Chains A and B, each alone.
Chain A
């Protein structure tokens, strides 16, 4: 199993550009999430999904869109990049809700810089 994969590993954008961060998992997990991590602020939840076709907002959803057409894939779209979106983005998946104690498996991250 490859686990959770993310592409690209690094990306530089100009203000106003759009792009999609890719996330895929091969563990047949129902739950997938996107987080951003800024220095000294821990991880903040952007959006999450409890299954194909179902998504919901997290703590910091503004400026981001998601969709979940398959169990395996959960792309994150930046609509119009802003310097405030410079961050490290992590995708995670888990076999069930974290409320039941199942661990979240994180991808390697995408390091995004917006100029």
Chain B
């Protein structure tokens, strides 16, 4: 079957580093995306990896290993505003099909 696995919750203090892992098993794979969603809000795009390696965007970095069907999102210098749910999503074809994980709730404490 198809599945994306990510931890349900991670708690960390301000200034810390958090890594959210995502393992996937899908019928097709074109790339791995990460989205952020604050409570009551809409998902917003953070990053996309199609090839193996690390992509860095400010305080956030995303990594992909296609051979391991694994990726992660790294949040550095955590801020209170980073408290949100983070979803990994696999593009399963080139047209627009996205399959999402269940999400990881990140709780940042003072």
Residues of A at the B interface (CB closer than 8 Å) are 31, 33, 35, 40-45, 48, 50, 56, 58-59, 90, 94, 97-101, 103-109
Contact = CB atoms under 8 A, between A and B. Distances in A.
A94 B50 CA distance: 17
B33 interface: yes
Interface string B1-35: 00010001000000000000000000000110100
A99 B99 contact: no
Contacts, number: 74
A30 to B, nearest CB: 9
Nearest to A91: B42
B95 A31 contact: yes
A67 B102 CA distance: 28
A97 B96 CA distance: 5
Contacts of A94: 96
